[in-house]
Structure 1
């Protein structure tokens, strides 16, 4: 690539040809041409505007927890916003920057006796990814408590969107369609008993630990829940638990997870996903749609 973006932004940490397996929760993924770690709205805006100016492809990652990066990696500029992780409380509102961990945000809410975020106590993603994907667990979803989101639009403008304007759906927000970058979120919560809030968080984390294969690298829940069904049960009923391709395996502990049991590649993951979809469809007539975000180029 002729343009070395590091020459333009010497004050921002930017790595060249960086393996994304170092950042993804599956421990798979090819290289990013450039991987940047902006620390502020301004730096994120500068990088976006420059990428637009020179027509460089731009990809934004959150905590890379519900994500598969193909083995060919990502061309152009990739940004990870984990350096933007400030969390602030004002009355019954919690404001968190995009790179803040969802788990850390729930802890801050509990410390300030605020209830409503308990469902997210074990979600491994970032706030930005949580808003982008409308992340949820145990009956709660991001849109249940989100008041506004600060977004850097594709055109380079910083705008604040209300819950209604984000047009949330199941594992979906309008930001996926408009290609904006979540910079921060404000959650409207309620006052509660910090002991009871912590008890609920501990209970949900116990359920997660007892049912999910947290001992292996994974991308979390792989498939969306089909209407009237559970993806994990469909996969279990199709006899797929323990199915393995390369180093990727349908978890024996929770059929909705695919785990990295032996130096898996992203290609291994995608082969397992394809086999699961085909087998479940043959067994039930139901096509499982992926919840995990799959990006990047195939290995050459």
Structure 2
């Protein structure tokens, strides 16, 4: 009995050590028809260590039109549900939720020139439909009803959507405006516009919350900004050396920035970092955005 007790104690110590060990530093990268999960710490120089890949062209559980056409230009990717699921959007005209473990498509919907997707309470999904004859709007879906929009509100060149759990608000970014919506839960779900602010610069692009929930990072043609969710003011992001046409920007718990800036037209072949400075190369992929994997 004493030997078994000692063995169990050693096992408990071993499990505790594993639980307390540093977590992997991962990032999501999207472009072309793919989403990649990359291990930052195990890359070699600029060569990324890709640990997971989802390619829409190989997703046989997608309808043919989605698989071959509507996911050709992936432009956003976000981790949800403790990293077990991935939100993706494509400017070719679609959004989806992917189960990370088995790569199954849990939800998909047509969204004209989709540029962002966000999960809301009650299994609702918001999407930003950018410039398109049937786009320029925020769209709302029920996760249980794929490809059936419940509601939409016009927003020219809609590019970003972020749900703020603390304030129970949806923030949406368009060409010149940042908006705050409230979720209307009575009757058929919808969104109510409650505030709007003119952004500095023009052509709003990326919208991303900070980890403390106090700010939103946003980018536009001239560079990157942070929006104070309490004071409703825009300032430059402290410590970040931004660049024109920044496509995405985020910061992890260590303070390191991740960002993408186009090298050709709208895409890049590198994901870049600041504090410390680093770069990862993706020579065979037209990268659009990159996110720290922080579910």
**Same fold, TM-score > 0.5, yes or no:** no
User: Which structure is higher in strand share?
Assistant: 2
Instruction: Point out which structure has higher relative CO (alpha carbons under 8 A, 6+ apart).
Output: 1
Q: TM-score, normalised by structure 1?
A: 0.29
User: Which structure is higher in helix share?
Assistant: 1
